[in-house]
Chains A and B, each alone.
Chain A
Amino acid sequence: MTDNQWEVFSYEAVITAAVLYFLAMLAYFFELAVLRTATKESELATVGATAGGVSGAPAAGEPPAPTRRGVVAGRLGLVLTIFAVVIHFVALVARGLAADPNRVPWGNMYEFTISGTFVVALIFVLATTRIDIEWLGPLVTTFVVAALMAAFLGLDDTVLPLPDALNSPWLVIHVVAAVISTGAFTIGALLSALYLVKSRSDAPTGYLARVPDLKVLDRLSYRMHAFGFPVWTFAVLITGPIWAHQAWGAYWNWDPKEVWAFITWVVYAAYLHARATAGWRGRNAAILALVGAATLWFNFIGINFFSSSSQHSYAESVAPEMSVVVGLPGPVEAAQEVGVVVGADHPRA
């Protein structure tokens, strides 16, 4: 296939994956709806049973036993998600093959988003094989669908060759680590948000009743962060500086992206520190985790709108990435001061 065909194929695959995620989301929602009505029925049944003097109805406070239809819908949701992840992966590979020369598919914002959502969905699917976390399905699929829609509407970008500064093996190592930790932190944040919502509610039915105990939510969220933090450290404080040294001549430049990556690191360090030593659990820890996720996503999207001087700034389609001002001593009009550029511009990211 030609590059162009690969690109079109990649788009179609992403759309297919998005549709599958959407269907998975519907299946999960259907499961919740069934759950809600089923619980009401079982409550009625319980009342009836109690009246009849027969024990064996679900005890109060126990998660309601899902009905058969609910179970099928939940299974369907997971299967659809797995299919979507596979097609999502195909889309990423096709995107890489669409570039000339072929490359890893995270050269700009659109590509980073489809890679990041893939990792979120993949972590979720992998986690379901090890721990009981299928109840997170509705949130994960909703998030992935929303992010893919945003990528299509706001970030769409054609396949472009990589500029020189991005053309490095560190692109693979640095960005893979960043994407994986972003995925883990994102799921951790979903769990923390869920914790906060559930802690304010004691609804005996519906989604929140399906979700496990606060204690379990708290622990799962911690483990996502404990996994993400070392990977983030590797991405931001080891591979980042090594690459920055090679490409920009200094291992730390206080570039806005670097600053925010550092802020995210510090916030998550505080999160782990607070848990380990000050005994912060539950609510406080969840709030801190959400602050961390906010800095993470602000760094990914928001900072591009605040600062155009960033060497990581890919907000414009053709932006100089390596503009070094040659200091002109003496009174100079602004227009005469000059960015000397090794025209290595990033595509959007």
Chain B
Amino acid sequence: MTDLQPDLRQRPSDDRQATALPTDLTARELGRWTWRQLTSMRTALVLLLLLALAAIPGSVIPQENIDSLAVSQWRDDHPRLAPIWDRLDLFSVYGSVWFSAIYILLMVSLVGCIIPRLFVYARALRARPPRAPRHLTRLPESASYTTDDAPEVVLARAAEELKGRRFRVARADDSVDAERGYLREAGNLVFHLAVIVVLVGVAAGSLLGYKGGVILLNGEDYGFSNNLTQYDDFAPGALFDPDVMEPFSFSITDFDVDWITEGERAGMAREFVAELDYRTEPGGEDKTYDLRVNHPLSIGGTDVFLIGHGYAPVITIRDGEGNIAKRGPVVFLPTNAQTFESFGVVKAPFARPGQIGLEGTFYPTFAMGQDADGNLTMPASVFGEALDPLVSLSVWTGNIGVDDGSAQSVYVLDKADATQVTRKDGRPFRMDLRPGETATLPDGLGTVTFDGLQRWNKIQVSRSPGSLVALSGVVVALIGLLGSLFVRPRRMWVRARRRDDGTTVVEVARLDRSSGGDPEDGADELADVVAALQGEQGQTGSRTNSNEEEQS
């Protein structure tokens, strides 16, 4: 029976070895016992299923590194559970200790299993096919016949035939022993080794690589060059070295969107094209590239992706003394993915007599909402394209907290020490500007002009070294997998013995060593070999026996 399940012998997996808990062990014996447990098939299986189980929470609970906004919302909604979840690393499952523990154990188990098997396989490659069992006809797939040919002739013909069928063939005194399908175990080993390669590639990417994002205004005047100071957000790997950053630079000369104006998807946009002027190194040749979704720009080992877009109203603030306190495009961030209603902040900390901070909403296509009775309600944007742009701003003065040198977000107005500017009747002052319009602020603070519109793009730059290693690893693993699934290792034996009456008894047997082999195919192969052996020679009788392989 062991012959039928060769894999079992190569790895301790039977109950006796896997579960016998030793008492009175020395440290060394305990170590060996633990190692054997860890590298046992059963443990590998349990770890594999555990890995699947452990991956589930990350798909249901929001993850910090994927959607930090959802995480903070979840924290607000579940104030009691959040600390427990935090302690269990449930907001970063795939970087957590317990998740890592499972796959590291799995890898250790895999290595511990594969290395001994490599040696076993190397020996098997050099070994001759195993000798014929004594009673060939007792094997499930066997046949026998008698012939007048001499045993030598039959065996020579058998060796020839089996070689022709690409078996490895060895002669013994009264038999021919043959085996083929060595590639199955090779495929198996290649698959497992390639899994390690994939892991190395992925680890290299996450340790050495980086991923950063930047919001870049359109136009020649606004350039990006690839160094740390230029990024809005930057996520380096643990072993990231800034020296590897390629010194390219680019600017966006134009950005095109195709807005769908009719049909079910009206209001949706597609076919985003950002025209890029770039140089691979300072002083290098100027090149252009049409950056689109699904078409990143690759520069060396770094890829540049188009991720998002939005509007930047160009705003001029003149202070109470008539000086320009602020002029230029200000990035407003979309709060609605369809209509591109956007939120933004303009700061003029050096305006005199008082600092000026503006905060408000930009509507690409402005319209007043209406309720069921036709009364005007909230203002809104009805379309993502800037058909009727309007910016609606409220004003703050006092200390907007920019001049003290502390770090501050350009997207948030610090209102802690600021006061909102009000109209004479005490209600908050608010101005609605279309391009070209100017509003005068109360209290002699100055004027605000909405000069026009600029666009910006969100660009992601990422470098993941080892991704090609990982990819080739998976491809090789797939090839190995195909070998281990579809190569069918099998042995065949032919024995010929002279009987007293001068005839020769020929016994042929076949042993399928794969799981899931098709008994019909096996019977066919056996029958073909027998037919080839018999050739046109007369034979006195034959008998075949092709029961299905007994499976445990």
Find out whether the CB atom of A278 lies under 8 angstroms from the CB atom of B45: yes
Q: With A and B bound together, what is the CA distance between A103 and B436 in angstroms?
A: 44
Assess whether B540 is interfacial by the CB under 8 Å rule: no
Q: Is the CB of A238 within 8 A of B458?
A: no
Once the chains bind, are A230 and B475 in contact (CB under 8 Å)?
no
Q: In residues 263-291 of chain B, which contact A (Cβ within 8 Å)?
A: 263-265, 267-272
Given contacts A307-B59, A318-B268, contact A342 B308 (CB under 8 A): yes
A229 surroundings in chain B (CB, below 8 A) = 481, 485
Cα separation A237 to B198 with both chains bound (whole Å): 10
Q: Which residues of B contact A325 (CB under 8 A)?
A: 67-69
Q: Which residues of chain B have C-beta atoms less than 8 A from A340's C-beta? A: 215, 307-310, 333-334, 458
Q: In angstroms, how far is the closest chain A Cβ from the Cβ of B69? A: 5
Task: State which size class the interface on A falls in.
Answer: 35 or more
Residues of B within 8 A of A343 (CB): 268-270, 337-338, 384
Which B1-26 residues have C-beta < 8 A from chain A? 5, 7-8, 11, 13
Query: How far does the alpha carbon of A244 sit from the alpha carbon of B60 in the complex, in Å?
Result: 21
Partner of B68, one of A233, A263, A327: A327
**Interfacial chain A residues near B147, Cβ < 8 Å:** none
User: Among B8, B52, B470, which residue has its beta carbon within 8 angstroms of that of A263?
Assistant: B52
Q: Chain B 453-474 against A: per-residue CB contact (8 Å), 1 yes, 0 no?
A: 0000010101010010011001
Tell me the chain B residues, 66-95 only, with Cβ under 8 Å from chain A. 66-70, 72-73, 76, 94
Tell me whether B182 is interfacial, beta carbon within 8 Å: no
Per the bound structure, the CA–CA distance linking A166 and B272 in Å amounts to: 13
Provided the pairs A263-B55, A307-B59, A343-B337 are in contact, do residues A226 and B474 lie with their beta carbons within 8 angstroms?
no
Q: Cα distance A223–B516 when bound, in Å?
A: 7
- Residue pair B13, A277 in contact (C-beta under 8 Å): yes
Closest beta carbon of chain B to A6's beta carbon, Å:
15
The count of A-to-B residue pairs whose CB atoms sit within 8 angstroms is 234
Q: Given the interface contacts A164-B292, A241-B471, A270-B48, does A259 sit within 8 Å of B55 by beta carbon?
A: yes
Q: Which of A222, A242, A328 has the most CB of B within 10 A?
A: A328
Contact residues on B (Cβ < 8 Å of other chain), bracket:
35 or more
Q: Mark B343-373, 1 if CB is under 8 A from A, else 0.
A: 1000000000000000000000000000000
Main secondary structure of the interface of B (DSSP, over half): mixed
**In the bound complex, do residue B49 and residue A267 qualify as a contact, i.e. CB atoms below 8 Å apart?**
yes
How many angstroms from the CA of A219 to the CA of B517 in the assembled complex? 8
Q: Judge whether B224 is part of the interface by a CB distance below 8 angstroms.
A: no
Known A163-B268, A340-B458: A307·B60 in contact at CB below 8 Å = yes
Check A129 for interface membership: any CB of B closer than 8 A: no
**B450: CB under 8 A from chain A?**
no
Contact (A272, B485) CB under 8 Å given A277-B13, A325-B69: yes
The 0/1 profile, CB within 8 Å of B marked 1, for residues 240-263 of chain A is: 011101111111111110011011
**How far is B110's CA from A273's CA once the two chains are assembled, in angstroms?**
12
Q: How far is the CA of A344 from the CA of B225 in the complex (A)?
A: 27
B478 interface residue per 8 A CB criterion: yes
* A276 at interface by CB-CB < 8 Å: yes
- Cα distance A336–B361 in the bound complex, in angstroms: 11
Given contacts A238-B474, A307-B59, A339-B334, A278 and B551 within 8 Å (CB-CB): no
Interface window among B135-143, B320-328, B390-398, B404-412: B404-412
Closest to B293 in A: A164
Would you call B412 and A238 a contact (CB within 8 A)?
no
CB neighbours (8 Å) of B5 from chain A are 279
How many angstroms between the C-alpha atoms of A35 and B310 in the bound complex?
68
- The answer to whether B335 has its CB under 8 Å from any CB of chain A is yes
* Structural contact, B293 and A247, CB atoms closer than 8 A: yes
**Is the Cβ of B478 less than 8 Å from the Cβ of A234?**
yes
B486 CB contact (under 8 Å) in A226, A259, A260, A263: A226
Do B44 and A342 touch (CB < 8 A)?
no
- Taking CB atoms, residues of chain B closer than 8 Å to A330 are 408-409, 412
> Are the C-beta atoms of A254 and B63 separated by less than 8 Å?
yes
Kindly supply a per-residue 1/0 record for chain B positions 282-320, scoring 1 wherever the CB is within 8 Å of any chain A CB and 0 otherwise. 000000000011111000000101111110000000000
Q: Which of A116-132 contact B (CB under 8 A)?
A: none
Q: Is B62 an interface residue (CB 8 A)?
A: yes
B295 and A254 form a contact (CB under 8 A) = no
Q: In the complex, are the beta carbons of A336 and B335 less than 8 A apart?
A: yes
The smallest C-beta distance from A341 to any residue of chain B, in angstroms, reads: 4
Contacting B516 at CB < 8 Å: which of A163, A226, A243? A226
Across the interface, which residues of A come within 8 angstroms of B343, CB to CB? 336, 338
A170's nearest neighbour on chain B, judged by CB, is B294
Q: In the bound complex, what is the Cα–Cα distance between A266 and B342 (angstroms)? A: 43
Residues of chain A within 8 A (CB-CB) of B112 are: none
| Contact across chains for B552 and A279 when beta carbons are under 8 A apart | yes
A278 to B41, CA, bound (A): 7
Instruction: Give bound CA distance, A342 to B202, whole Å.
Output: 27
Instruction: Judge if B515 is at the interface, Cβ distance under 8 Å.
Output: yes
Residue of A nearest to B304 (CB): A249
- Residues from chain A with a CB closer than 8 A to the CB of B486 are 226
| B482 contacts A230, C-beta separation under 8 Å | yes
* A254-B478 in contact (CB<8A): no
A222 to B485 alpha-carbon distance, docked (Å) = 10
A272 to B467, CA, bound (A): 27
The reply to whether B60 and A246 form a contact with Cβ atoms under 8 Å apart is no
Partner pick for B7 among A256, A260, A277, CB 8 A cutoff: A277
B307–A249 touching, CB < 8 Å? yes
**B548 within 8 Å of A (CB atoms):** yes
Whether, in the assembled complex, A274 has its beta carbon less than 8 Å from a beta carbon of chain B, the answer is yes
Q: How far is the CB of A162 from chain B (nearest CB, A)?
A: 8
Residues of A close to B68: CB separation below 8 A? 325, 327
List, in ascending order, chain B residues with CB within 8 A of A167's CB. 270, 293-294
Residue of B56, B268, B303, B307 touching A324 (CB-CB under 8 A): B307
Interchain CB contact (< 8 A) of A245 among B62, B213, B467: B467
Residues in A neighbouring B310, C-beta threshold 8 A: 340
The answer to whether A164 and B337 touch across the interface, beta carbons within 8 angstroms, is no
Q: Compute how far the CA of A240 lies from the CA of B260 in the bound complex, rounded to whole angstroms.
A: 28
CB contacts (< 8 Å) of A322 on chain B: these are 293, 307-308
Closest to A247 in B: B294
Q: Contact at B337–A339, with CB atoms within 8 Å?
A: yes
Partner of A306, one of B59, B66, B464: B59
The CA-CA distance from A256 to B497 in the complex, in Å, is 66
Residue-wise interface mask of A (298-340) relative to B, using a CB-CB cutoff of 8 A (1 in contact, 0 not)? 0000010011010000000110101111111111101111111
Q: In the complex, what distance in Å separates the CA atom of A247 from the CA atom of B307?
A: 9
A323 touching B211 in the complex, CB below 8 Å, given contacts A241-B471, A260-B59, A341-B308: no
Chain A interface residues (CB < 8 Å from chain B)? 158, 160-161, 163-165, 167-168, 215, 219, 222-223, 226, 229-230, 233-234, 237-238, 241-243, 245-256, 259-260, 262-263, 266-267, 269-270, 272-279, 281, 295, 303, 306-307, 309, 317-318, 320, 322-332, 334-345
Given contacts A164-B294, A273-B44, A343-B337, 18 further A-B contacts (CB under 8 A): A168-B294, A215-B551, A233-B474, A250-B211, A259-B59, A270-B45, A270-B49, A270-B52, A275-B516, A281-B515, A307-B59, A324-B307, A326-B215, A326-B308, A327-B233, A328-B411, A342-B307, A343-B338
Q: List 21 A-B contacts (CB under 8 A).
A: A164-B271, A164-B292, A165-B294, A167-B294, A168-B294, A222-B516, A230-B478, A249-B462, A251-B467, A253-B66, A254-B94, A270-B45, A270-B49, A274-B45, A275-B515, A322-B307, A325-B68, A326-B213, A334-B73, A339-B69, A343-B384
Which 8 interchain pairs have the tightest Cβ spacing?
A: A340-B308, A338-B333, A320-B337, A249-B305, A164-B293, A341-B337, A256-B59, A259-B59
